[in-house]
Copies of this chain bind each other. A is one copy, B any other.
Amino acid sequence: MTEKPMTDLDNLRVVLVATRNPLNIGAAARAMSNFGVRRLRVVNPYEVAFREARSAVGASGLLAKAEQYDGVAEAVADCKLVVGTTVAGPRRDLQHRLLRLDDGARAIKRQLKTARVALLFGSERYGLSNQEMSHCHWVMRIPTREEHGSMNLGQAVAVCLYELVRGRKASPAKAMSEKKEKTSPTSGELERLTQVLLEVLQASGYVKPRAVAAEEKLRRLVRRMELKANDAEVWLGMLRQIAWKLSAGE
């Protein structure tokens, strides 16, 4: 543990149990990297798979630093919370408390502030066995369709980590400033736009001269566009050019 922990996520250990396919180990590692989770542990992987995954072109430092264990007990020994994962399905022998993924993620995030948490993913074909599950405090379920009983490992890891990361940087200040970035046009600007549009439509014969209701309709139409100031300017420029061309053609 030489690197300084930068976020709560550094307390998370993703634990792949009995993974068979090297591509899946690599895919799980990529999902971890995408969401800023750096500590991978593998339990009893198919030996060749683990070697291949590590030596794959582009394999990350994350894979190189992955820790290997012979059993779940050893892999989670230093963790205060151990959470299993499963998909929806007709698994009737599940002995654990089952949480929705979003509820589970909330509980995990609380724990990560102060302690290590292990998140377990089972083998591609069978998921976590009851023996492996027995190390878990509870299990969280990815809300997949029951009829489709399995899920790609890399995708399962991606979805769970997304749920952990989701909304973490919800800085309201930032959202505010982004909203302010694009200002609305003034009513005066919108009215100029309306008038040029009216002029163009009269010149083109779409609107009869002195059709009073038409002007009101156009005014409402322009307001309904809910233009930002910069777009309003673009529209005004376009319409002025059209107006000029129409008058030049007369």
Chain A residues with CB under 8 Å of chain B are 27, 30-31, 33-36, 87, 100-102, 142-145, 148, 151-152, 154-156, 158-159, 162-163, 165-169, 200-201, 203-206, 221, 224-228, 231, 234-235, 237-238, 241-242, 244-246, 249-250
Q: List 19 additional contacts besides A35-B145, A159-B162, A204-B244; criterion CB under 8 Å.
A: A27-B155, A30-B152, A33-B148, A34-B155, A100-B167, A143-B166, A143-B168, A143-B169, A154-B154, A155-B155, A158-B158, A159-B159, A163-B166, A200-B242, A203-B245, A204-B241, A205-B241, A225-B227, A246-B246
Q: How many copies of the chain does the oligomer comprise?
A: 2
CB <8 Å contact, B142 and A162: yes
| Closest B residue to A28 using CB positions | B155
Give Cα distance in the complex from A60 to B123, angstroms: 22
Taking a contact as CB atoms closer than 8 A, the residue among B167, B169, B250 that contacts A102 in the complex is: B167
* Given A159-B159, A205-B245, A242-B201: A151 in contact with B102 (beta carbons within 8 A): no
Give Cα distance in the complex from A177 to B169, angstroms: 31
22 chain-A/chain-B pairs, Cβ below 8 angstroms: A27-B152, A30-B151, A30-B155, A34-B144, A34-B145, A34-B148, A101-B162, A102-B167, A142-B162, A143-B169, A152-B154, A154-B155, A201-B242, A203-B245, A204-B245, A205-B241, A206-B238, A221-B231, A225-B227, A242-B246, A246-B246, A249-B249
